[in-house]
Structure 1
Amino acid sequence: MLHQRGVFHQEAGLIDATFENAAVGMAHVSFQGRWLRVNEKLLDIVGYSREELLQITFQDITHPDDLDADLEQLDALIKGDIPAYTMEKRYFHKDGGLIWINLTVGLQRDEDGEPLFCISAIEDITERKANEERLRVLVDELNHRVKNTLATVQAIAHMSFRKDEPIADARAEFTSRLHALSGAHDLLTEEKWMGADIMSVVDRALRAFRLADETRFHVAGPRIRLSPRAALTLAMAVNELATNAVKYGALSVPDGSVQIAWGRFGKEGVDEIVFKWIESNGPEVSMPDGSGGFGSTLLERILPGDFQGEAELEYAPTGLRYTLTAIRPRSADI
């Protein structure tokens, strides 16, 4: 008998140690919801002291939107309809913040099988839920970007393959534009689609053209952060300007050069952002006949629209000049 009692006390001690040292929150809870016994892990999760928590109920710290489902499951458990239940729900931390938990509840019964109290295991899953939400937002954003990219490619194709242009030239233009779009996408991916600095956008868009002669480009300007949409459109615009310069403008002759510059000019609580493309020592240029194609539409309508600004194309005797101007509140990004 003494040996049996010793074994009983030893097992009871192990059970107590398991309860107190569990890696998840553990609690004994009355059928009315009052905390009867809690371990240190649960106190860490909810932020209450032991004395504070034992004076309240689980209903007091459960988010109202999750309470009915919890009480419904608890009622079924007490009636014997289910042996246990598991659910995800939210607790209010003592500091007022929300905690997501994974709750598993079973029953402790007496020797006659009558229920005595609930045994709850509480796992903090707040970080996991936050990761799930970030993933959901990322997937939604990815779907949005894919749709926008497909629409952009469709527009490029529609305006590149025109009836009045030889198919070989159209194919070359289309490929060049896709490369510009792809390069901008690569840059934004490196930046985790949080935007990009204007210098990085211009450098990436000019990379292929600079391979022929680095000295023909003069690029300067301060750091200005662009939104993903503005970065994509500017990259394609710079590609259009450079392609046009190679075919018809300053880069089509040995002594021609291009100056690309931008600046931020403050005045009365707003910033005036100015971007300039200036060709020098090139052949004389003139305004093209007709309504123009993708390039002129991009430069005169799409890019100013994305920058919420205005654009001017000047066919000067010394070469093409393009100026983009956007007025922004001083605290806003483009």
Structure 2
Amino acid sequence: MGARTAGPDHAGLLHQPNDKARPGGLAALWTGLSPQRRGAVKARVVPRPFPRLKQPMRPSLPEHGMTRARQPVLMLGAVLVTLALGLGLTVATVRLENQAVAMRFARLADLVSSRLQQRMNQHVALLRATRSQFDAEVEPVTVPEFARYVAGLDLQGNYQGIQGIGFAALLPTAEAEQARDRIAAAHGHQIAARPPGDQPFVGPIVMLEPLDERNRRALGYDMFSEPARREAMIAALESGEPRATGPVELVQEITDEKQTGFLIYTPTHAGLFARSEQRDGGFVYSPFRAGDLHAAVLATLPGLPMSLRTVDALAPDQPLFDNSPAEIPPNLAAQAITREIPIAGRRWQMTMTPAPGFSGWRDRSASLMVGVLSLLLVIAVGGATWSFLRALAEAERAAALSAREAEQRALLLREMQHRIKNHLARIQAIARQTMRSARDLTEFGRIFGARLSAMAKAQDAINRDGRDSADLRALLLAEIGGVVEADRAEAMLGGPPVRLNGREAQALGLVAYELSTNAMKYSAEADALTIRIEWQVEKRGEADWLVLRWIEPEAQPGGTEGEAGGFGTQLIHALIEGDLNGTFSRDFGADGMVITIAFPLSLD
């Protein structure tokens, strides 16, 4: 090949040769033009400056990663705060319920203790009344009179819990035999005095009504001989008021079902033999079975949800009454309440423990409701927080998508700007080269228009499938279809499927146009035009190269452009070697003219 001008401009375009170094070239043509024609040519071939597009500002986005990292913490925090609030309200409600239950049980305990105290006050009042009756009598009260008096009281009907009312004389021990005889005479049969004692006084039971089997067993018993009874009798004498004993076992306990008992003494003027002025002749007293007494009191409160243990404060080891279970759960034992009441000079301690069924679900209805509402609130807050975070995430994704779309639009604008500049620069170069070879404006317009049409066909092939690439076969069919029929053009092509990027398609399209135009120019008839285009992909180093052979069997060395090459040859060299960094060669042999084009492919 002859000398040629090849190599890309600063933007990968054809190099502008020095017109002054080519006699008869563009400089001579330009000099021969009139000023009006020069202006017209300038207006048609010189591109106007393309305005530079401003790069769109990339919208600022929140730190999506940090926001996503905070989302679980925010949701967990909201749920935990709500859960803590609900738990606090529930615990506070439970405490209020516990206080309400404790107050209700305290009122119930006060009721039980007050009932017992009222019952004992009635019994003490009965003893006082009986003592007054004894004190009012001038003569000693006889057994029949006392029996009629007690029967009229109806103890079992009106004073449940009391074992009876009796009279015990207080005599010196020296008068014990006489006392035994007087008691036997009063009852009409012999009554044994017991037990033998060593005290200076004796306190035998003279009368005890109602005279049932239990009370009959107690007649003649010396109560002063027993320490607990003696202590209470002495206390009653000293104070002149009713005084109770500590826990004792009554003489009346004649069955296997024994109960703890106690007695209350009140001194009287009446004596066994004579009236005493000092109110020390004897005692009006009452024996009590503590179990029956408590049963009578508790019977007035049926279904009482508690257990009760009553002890004498001075003798706590022997309970007066205890219906508590063998084992009390710790939670119930912690709710036990103790009340202390005065009983005839002594103090009783009543410990009341709620039964397992005392507080039920109704007592916990408020806390259950608050707990359920708190749980619903936690679920609602969790759902609301989740919805909020989801909406926030959607907003962030939308913002990110908008930002990406803005970036893509900016990229497309920059790409469009770049491509338009490249096309205009390529058109400018084609125009300049066409001006060098065209003899007049008519020829310039024809050649320049044909080459622009070749570029348009290449661009159509690139944009046909919506991608920035073109199929090699489709591109060649579009270019040579203008000089031969479609079916003949298809038969001229042979090679594997190859895709070209936009730059490669534009360059190869112009090359195919130049070669097909040149072949048609020097062919005798268009119908007789024979061309074969073969291609293959070869591995050269790490790159894939397209090797395309353009074969014209009928072409002769003198029938084409000379070795020096015209504009077409220069354009092909510039496109293949300059734009595509490839090689271009033309040889003549037995197969005719063979043009070999090779360049590295950019697409896989």
* TM bracket, shorter-chain basis: 0.5 to 0.7
Match of 2:594 among 313, 316, 321: 321
CA contact (8 A) 2:484 2:527 kept: no
| 1:199 Cα offset (Å) | 1.4
Once residues 150 and 156 of structure 1 are traced to their aligned partners in structure 2, the CA distance between those partners, rounded to angstroms, is 10
Q: Which has more radius of gyration? A: 2
Deviations 1:67-96 (A, max 9, x none): xxxxxxxxxxxxxxxxxxxxxxxxxxxxxx
CA contact (8 A) 2:480 2:489 kept: no
Alignment of 1:150-169 (within 5 A): 150-162=424-436, 165-169=439-443
Instruction: Give 2:508's aligned residue.
Output: 234
Deviations 1:188-222 (A, max 9, x none): 22344522121122122222223487269510111
Alignment of 1:301-312 (within 5 A): 301-312=574-585
Once residues 68 and 495 of structure 2 are traced to their aligned partners in structure 1, the CA distance between those partners, rounded to angstroms, is 51
Letter in 2 for 1:135: R
Once residues 415 and 441 of structure 2 are traced to their aligned partners in structure 1, the CA distance between those partners, rounded to angstroms, is 35
> Of Structure 1 and Structure 2, which has the larger fraction of its residues in strand?
1
| 1:169 Cα offset (Å) | 3.1
Task: For structure 2, list consecutive stretches of 5 or more residues without a partner in the other structure.
Answer: 1-63, 78-391
| 1:131 Cα offset (Å) | 1.1
Letter in 2 for 1:186: D
Instruction: Give 1:132's aligned residue.
Output: 406
Instruction: Give 1:182's aligned residue.
Output: 456
Once residues 522 and 410 of structure 2 are traced to their aligned partners in structure 1, the CA distance between those partners, rounded to angstroms, is 47
Instruction: Give 1:205's aligned residue.
Output: 479
| 1:256 Cα offset (Å) | 3.6
Instruction: Give 2:538's aligned residue.
Output: 265
Deviations 1:292-327 (A, max 9, x none): 333111222322333322110225576432101235
Task: For structure 1, list consecutive stretches of 5 or more residues without a partner in the other structure.
Answer: 1-42, 57-98, 103-121
SS at 1:208 equivalent: coil
CA contact (8 A) 2:587 2:595 kept: yes
Once residues 471 and 487 of structure 2 are traced to their aligned partners in structure 1, the CA distance between those partners, rounded to angstroms, is 24
Once residues 566 and 393 of structure 2 are traced to their aligned partners in structure 1, the CA distance between those partners, rounded to angstroms, is 54
Instruction: Give 2:497's aligned residue.
Output: 223
CA contact (8 A) 2:461 2:471 kept: no
CA contact (8 A) 2:547 2:596 kept: yes
Instruction: Give 2:74's aligned residue.
Output: 53
Deviations 1:3-57 (A, max 9, x none): xxxxxxxxxxxxxxxxxxxxxxxxxxxxxxxxxxxxxxxx9x955686523579x
CA contact (8 A) 2:480 2:513 kept: yes
Aligned residues: 227
Deviations 1:102-136 (A, max 9, x none): 7xxxxxxxxxxxxxxxxxxx783221211111111
Letter in 2 for 1:292: G
SS at 1:209 equivalent: coil
CA contact (8 A) 1:274 1:323 kept: yes
Once residues 450 and 398 of structure 2 are traced to their aligned partners in structure 1, the CA distance between those partners, rounded to angstroms, is 51
Alignment of 1:1-334 (within 5 A): 47=68, 51-54=72-75, 124-162=398-436, 165-211=439-485, 214=488, 218-249=492-523, 252=525, 254-266=527-539, 269-282=542-555, 285-286=558-559, 288-289=561-562, 291-316=564-589, 319-326=592-599, 333=603
Once residues 276 and 100 of structure 1 are traced to their aligned partners in structure 2, the CA distance between those partners, rounded to angstroms, is 58
Instruction: Give 1:90's aligned residue.
Output: none
Letter in 2 for 1:52: V
Once residues 166 and 275 of structure 1 are traced to their aligned partners in structure 2, the CA distance between those partners, rounded to angstroms, is 35
SS at 1:257 equivalent: coil
SS at 2:482 equivalent: helix
Q: Structure 1 172/144 Cα, relative in aligned 2: closer, same or farther at 3 Å?
A: same
Q: Structure 1 164/137 Cα, relative in aligned 2: closer, same or farther at 3 Å?
A: closer
Letter in 2 for 1:140: R
Once residues 440 and 494 of structure 2 are traced to their aligned partners in structure 1, the CA distance between those partners, rounded to angstroms, is 37
Letter in 2 for 1:205: E
CA contact (8 A) 1:216 1:256 kept: no
Q: Structure 1 55/180 Cα, relative in aligned 2: closer, same or farther at 3 Å?
A: same
Q: Structure 1 149/327 Cα, relative in aligned 2: closer, same or farther at 3 Å?
A: closer
Higher RCO, 1 vs 2 (CA within 8 Å, ≥6 residues apart): 2
CA contact (8 A) 1:217 1:258 kept: no
